[in-house]
Amino acid sequence: MQPDASIPAHTLSSRLRGSAAVVFLVLGGLIASALVVPLLLFGGRRNRAQHLVERLWASGTLAVAGIRVEVLGRHNLPANGCVIAANHRSNADILAIMGGAATPARFLAKSELKWVFFISIGMWATRHIFVKRGRSKSGGRALEAAANELRKGAWVLLFPEGTRSTSGESLPWKTGAFRLAIDAQVPIVPTVIHNARSAWPAQSILPRSGTMIVEFLEPVSSEGVSAKNYGQLRNQVRDLVISSLEG
Protein backbone atom coordinates (compact mmCIF):
# COMPACT_ATOMS: atom_id res chain seq x y z
CA MET A 1 0.00 0.00 0.00
CA GLN A 2 1.18 3.51 -0.75
CA PRO A 3 1.16 6.29 1.88
CA ASP A 4 -1.77 8.70 1.92
CA ALA A 5 -1.80 11.03 -1.05
CA SER A 6 -1.43 14.77 -0.60
CA ILE A 7 -4.65 16.34 0.65
CA PRO A 8 -6.54 18.14 -2.15
CA ALA A 9 -8.30 21.46 -1.72
CA HIS A 10 -12.06 21.52 -1.21
CA THR A 11 -14.26 22.37 -4.18
CA LEU A 12 -17.66 23.94 -3.64
CA SER A 13 -19.44 20.63 -4.29
CA SER A 14 -17.17 18.75 -1.89
CA ARG A 15 -17.76 21.40 0.79
CA LEU A 16 -21.51 20.97 0.43
CA ARG A 17 -21.20 17.20 0.60
CA GLY A 18 -18.82 17.41 3.56
CA SER A 19 -21.18 19.79 5.37
CA ALA A 20 -24.08 17.40 4.81
CA ALA A 21 -21.98 14.57 6.26
CA VAL A 22 -21.22 16.59 9.41
CA VAL A 23 -24.93 17.36 9.84
CA PHE A 24 -25.71 13.66 9.43
CA LEU A 25 -22.93 12.81 11.90
CA VAL A 26 -24.44 15.06 14.59
CA LEU A 27 -28.16 14.55 14.01
CA GLY A 28 -27.77 10.87 13.21
CA GLY A 29 -25.67 10.47 16.34
CA LEU A 30 -28.42 12.03 18.43
CA ILE A 31 -31.02 9.70 16.93
CA ALA A 32 -28.76 6.65 17.30
CA SER A 33 -28.07 7.47 20.96
CA ALA A 34 -31.79 7.84 21.58
CA LEU A 35 -32.49 4.48 19.94
CA VAL A 36 -29.85 2.29 21.58
CA VAL A 37 -31.17 2.91 25.10
CA PRO A 38 -34.66 1.36 24.58
CA LEU A 39 -32.95 -1.38 22.53
CA LEU A 40 -31.46 -2.59 25.82
CA LEU A 41 -34.70 -4.58 26.03
CA PHE A 42 -33.57 -6.71 23.06
CA GLY A 43 -30.66 -8.38 24.85
CA GLY A 44 -29.02 -5.90 27.22
CA ARG A 45 -26.00 -3.75 26.51
CA ARG A 46 -24.13 -4.26 23.24
CA ASN A 47 -26.71 -6.42 21.49
CA ARG A 48 -27.25 -6.99 17.76
CA ALA A 49 -30.01 -4.43 17.43
CA GLN A 50 -27.68 -1.78 18.89
CA HIS A 51 -24.91 -2.91 16.53
CA LEU A 52 -27.23 -2.30 13.59
CA VAL A 53 -28.01 1.24 14.75
CA GLU A 54 -24.32 2.07 15.22
CA ARG A 55 -23.44 0.59 11.86
CA LEU A 56 -26.15 2.54 10.03
CA TRP A 57 -25.07 5.80 11.67
CA ALA A 58 -21.35 5.36 10.99
CA SER A 59 -21.68 3.97 7.47
CA GLY A 60 -24.36 6.55 6.64
CA THR A 61 -22.07 9.42 7.65
CA LEU A 62 -19.30 8.09 5.40
CA ALA A 63 -21.72 7.46 2.53
CA VAL A 64 -23.03 11.03 2.66
CA ALA A 65 -19.42 12.24 2.62
CA GLY A 66 -18.70 10.10 -0.42
CA ILE A 67 -16.19 7.93 1.46
CA ARG A 68 -16.13 4.26 0.50
CA VAL A 69 -14.57 1.71 2.86
CA GLU A 70 -12.90 -1.49 1.66
CA VAL A 71 -12.11 -4.17 4.24
CA LEU A 72 -9.21 -6.59 3.85
CA GLY A 73 -8.36 -9.53 6.10
CA ARG A 74 -11.62 -9.66 8.01
CA HIS A 75 -10.94 -13.39 8.54
CA ASN A 76 -8.03 -12.37 10.79
CA LEU A 77 -10.46 -11.19 13.48
CA PRO A 78 -10.79 -14.05 15.99
CA ALA A 79 -14.23 -15.24 17.01
CA ASN A 80 -13.45 -14.48 20.66
CA GLY A 81 -11.74 -11.56 22.38
CA CYS A 82 -8.96 -9.55 20.78
CA VAL A 83 -7.39 -6.12 20.91
CA ILE A 84 -7.63 -4.22 17.60
CA ALA A 85 -4.60 -1.91 17.49
CA ALA A 86 -4.82 0.63 14.66
CA ASN A 87 -2.99 3.67 13.37
CA HIS A 88 -4.84 6.98 13.88
CA ARG A 89 -4.58 9.76 11.29
CA SER A 90 -8.17 10.75 10.60
CA ASN A 91 -11.51 11.87 11.99
CA ALA A 92 -13.04 8.97 10.03
CA ASP A 93 -11.07 6.14 11.64
CA ILE A 94 -13.69 5.11 14.21
CA LEU A 95 -16.49 5.56 11.66
CA ALA A 96 -14.72 3.20 9.26
CA ILE A 97 -14.37 0.53 11.95
CA MET A 98 -17.88 0.91 13.36
CA GLY A 99 -19.44 1.30 9.91
CA GLY A 100 -18.79 -2.29 8.94
CA ALA A 101 -15.17 -3.32 9.35
CA ALA A 102 -15.67 -4.47 12.97
CA THR A 103 -18.98 -3.07 14.20
CA PRO A 104 -19.16 -5.08 17.47
CA ALA A 105 -15.89 -3.59 18.77
CA ARG A 106 -15.92 -1.40 21.86
CA PHE A 107 -13.59 1.59 21.87
CA LEU A 108 -12.02 3.84 24.48
CA ALA A 109 -13.33 7.42 24.38
CA LYS A 110 -12.11 10.56 26.13
CA SER A 111 -13.93 11.23 29.38
CA GLU A 112 -15.05 14.72 28.32
CA LEU A 113 -17.76 13.03 26.25
CA LYS A 114 -19.39 11.87 29.50
CA TRP A 115 -20.83 15.36 29.92
CA VAL A 116 -22.45 15.28 26.49
CA PHE A 117 -25.33 13.30 27.89
CA PHE A 118 -27.23 12.65 24.66
CA ILE A 119 -24.09 10.87 23.39
CA SER A 120 -22.65 9.41 26.60
CA ILE A 121 -25.86 7.61 27.58
CA GLY A 122 -25.86 5.83 24.23
CA MET A 123 -22.17 5.02 24.57
CA TRP A 124 -22.78 3.60 28.04
CA ALA A 125 -25.64 1.48 26.68
CA THR A 126 -23.33 -0.02 24.05
CA ARG A 127 -20.42 -0.66 26.46
CA HIS A 128 -17.90 1.80 25.07
CA ILE A 129 -15.36 2.82 27.72
CA PHE A 130 -14.43 6.31 28.95
CA VAL A 131 -10.92 7.27 29.98
CA LYS A 132 -9.47 10.53 31.29
CA ARG A 133 -6.24 11.31 29.48
CA GLY A 134 -3.22 11.94 31.65
CA ARG A 135 -4.83 10.39 34.74
CA SER A 136 -3.25 7.07 35.67
CA LYS A 137 -6.14 6.03 37.94
CA SER A 138 -8.71 6.68 35.23
CA GLY A 139 -6.56 4.87 32.69
CA GLY A 140 -6.19 1.92 35.03
CA ARG A 141 -9.95 1.68 35.58
CA ALA A 142 -10.60 1.95 31.85
CA LEU A 143 -8.11 -0.80 31.04
CA GLU A 144 -9.61 -2.99 33.78
CA ALA A 145 -13.07 -2.48 32.27
CA ALA A 146 -11.68 -3.27 28.81
CA ALA A 147 -9.97 -6.41 30.13
CA ASN A 148 -13.28 -7.61 31.56
CA GLU A 149 -14.91 -7.13 28.17
CA LEU A 150 -12.08 -9.03 26.47
CA ARG A 151 -12.45 -11.97 28.86
CA LYS A 152 -16.12 -12.14 27.85
CA GLY A 153 -15.06 -12.52 24.21
CA ALA A 154 -15.37 -8.90 23.05
CA TRP A 155 -13.24 -6.99 20.56
CA VAL A 156 -11.71 -3.79 21.94
CA LEU A 157 -10.43 -1.08 19.58
CA LEU A 158 -7.50 1.07 20.69
CA PHE A 159 -5.33 3.61 18.91
CA PRO A 160 -1.90 3.21 20.55
CA GLU A 161 -0.80 6.63 19.28
CA GLY A 162 -3.34 8.08 21.71
CA THR A 163 -4.47 10.87 19.40
CA ARG A 164 -4.71 11.60 15.68
CA SER A 165 -1.54 12.39 13.80
CA THR A 166 -1.81 15.69 11.90
CA SER A 167 1.47 15.34 10.03
CA GLY A 168 0.94 12.03 8.27
CA GLU A 169 3.75 10.51 10.33
CA SER A 170 3.17 7.97 13.09
CA LEU A 171 3.24 9.29 16.65
CA PRO A 172 4.98 7.35 19.45
CA TRP A 173 2.96 4.27 20.40
CA LYS A 174 1.79 3.97 23.99
CA THR A 175 1.79 0.67 25.86
CA GLY A 176 -1.77 0.40 27.23
CA ALA A 177 -3.13 -1.78 24.42
CA PHE A 178 -0.32 -4.29 24.86
CA ARG A 179 -0.48 -4.43 28.63
CA LEU A 180 -4.21 -5.02 28.20
CA ALA A 181 -3.74 -7.89 25.75
CA ILE A 182 -1.18 -9.55 28.04
CA ASP A 183 -3.43 -9.11 31.08
CA ALA A 184 -6.46 -10.63 29.32
CA GLN A 185 -4.33 -13.16 27.40
CA VAL A 186 -5.94 -12.34 24.05
CA PRO A 187 -4.31 -11.75 20.66
CA ILE A 188 -3.65 -8.35 19.14
CA VAL A 189 -4.81 -7.72 15.58
CA PRO A 190 -2.55 -5.12 13.91
CA THR A 191 -4.91 -2.92 11.92
CA VAL A 192 -3.92 -0.57 9.13
CA ILE A 193 -6.23 2.25 8.03
CA HIS A 194 -5.07 3.41 4.61
CA ASN A 195 -5.92 6.72 2.91
CA ALA A 196 -7.74 8.00 5.99
CA ARG A 197 -5.89 11.29 6.17
CA SER A 198 -6.77 12.23 2.59
CA ALA A 199 -10.46 11.47 3.25
CA TRP A 200 -10.88 13.31 6.56
CA PRO A 201 -7.69 14.80 8.01
CA ALA A 202 -7.53 15.42 11.73
CA GLN A 203 -7.23 19.20 11.28
CA SER A 204 -10.27 19.47 8.97
CA ILE A 205 -13.89 19.97 10.01
CA LEU A 206 -15.20 18.65 6.69
CA PRO A 207 -14.54 15.25 5.10
CA ARG A 208 -13.66 14.68 1.44
CA SER A 209 -14.85 11.90 -0.82
CA GLY A 210 -12.48 9.02 -1.45
CA THR A 211 -11.74 5.40 -0.57
CA MET A 212 -10.45 4.20 2.78
CA ILE A 213 -9.06 0.72 3.27
CA VAL A 214 -9.19 -1.05 6.62
CA GLU A 215 -6.72 -3.93 6.62
CA PHE A 216 -6.65 -6.49 9.44
CA LEU A 217 -3.27 -8.23 9.57
CA GLU A 218 -2.65 -11.65 11.09
CA PRO A 219 -3.14 -11.71 14.87
CA VAL A 220 -0.11 -11.48 17.14
CA SER A 221 -0.38 -13.78 20.15
CA SER A 222 0.11 -12.53 23.70
CA GLU A 223 -0.19 -16.02 25.15
CA GLY A 224 2.58 -16.68 27.64
CA VAL A 225 4.12 -13.22 27.16
CA SER A 226 5.47 -11.80 30.40
CA ALA A 227 3.96 -8.53 31.62
CA LYS A 228 7.41 -6.96 31.58
CA ASN A 229 7.78 -7.69 27.85
CA TYR A 230 4.92 -5.42 26.76
CA GLY A 231 7.41 -3.12 25.00
CA GLN A 232 8.62 -5.91 22.76
CA LEU A 233 5.02 -6.78 21.86
CA ARG A 234 4.25 -3.12 21.12
CA ASN A 235 7.27 -2.79 18.84
CA GLN A 236 6.34 -5.93 16.92
CA VAL A 237 2.78 -4.74 16.24
CA ARG A 238 3.84 -1.15 15.50
CA ASP A 239 6.42 -2.30 12.97
CA LEU A 240 3.83 -4.45 11.18
CA VAL A 241 1.38 -1.55 10.93
CA ILE A 242 3.95 1.04 9.81
CA SER A 243 5.48 -1.38 7.30
CA SER A 244 2.07 -1.94 5.72
CA LEU A 245 1.35 1.79 5.65
CA GLU A 246 4.61 2.53 3.88
CA GLY A 247 4.71 -0.57 1.68
- Write down the domain spans for the chain: 12-246
Would you place residue 139 in the very low, low, confident or very high pLDDT band (cuts 50, 70, 90)?
A: low
Is 12-246 assigned to CATH 3.40.1130.10? yes
Determine the Cα–Cα distance for residues 200 and 21; give it in Å rounded to an integer.
11
DSSP-based three-state secondary structure for 186? coil
Write the CA distances from 162 to 112, 117, 171, 174, integer angstroms.
15, 23, 8, 7
Determine the Cα–Cα distance for residues 209 and 36; give it in Å rounded to an integer.
29
Q: Which amino acid is at 57?
A: W
Q: Residue 134's pLDDT is what?
A: 57
Region of 134 (left: φ > 0; alpha: ψ -120 to 50; beta: rest) is left
Q: Is the pLDDT of residue 49 over 80?
A: yes
Determine the Cα–Cα distance for residues 83 and 149; give it in Å rounded to an integer.
11
In the chain, where does DSSP find H-type helix? Answer: 12-36, 48-65, 93-96, 117-125, 136-151, 176-184, 196-199, 230-246
Beta-carbon contacts of residue 20 (< 8 Å; ≥ 6 apart) = 64, 65
Of the ranges 11-15, 58-62, 166-170, the best mean pLDDT one: 58-62
**Tens-place pLDDT, residues 154-167:** 999 999 988 787 66
Q: What is the mean pLDDT of residues 69-96?
A: 94
Strand-pair category, 188-194 with 210-216: antiparallel
| CA angle 240–208–196, rounded 5-degree value | 5
Would you place residue 135 in the very low, low, confident or very high pLDDT band (cuts 50, 70, 90)?
A: low
Would you place residue 224 in the very low, low, confident or very high pLDDT band (cuts 50, 70, 90)?
A: confident
DSSP 153: T
pTM here is: 0.88
Region of 207 (left: φ > 0; alpha: ψ -120 to 50; beta: rest) is beta
Q: Residue 210's pLDDT is what?
A: 93
Nearest of 238, 192, 30 to residue 97 by alpha carbon: 192
Q: Residue 234's pLDDT is what?
A: 94
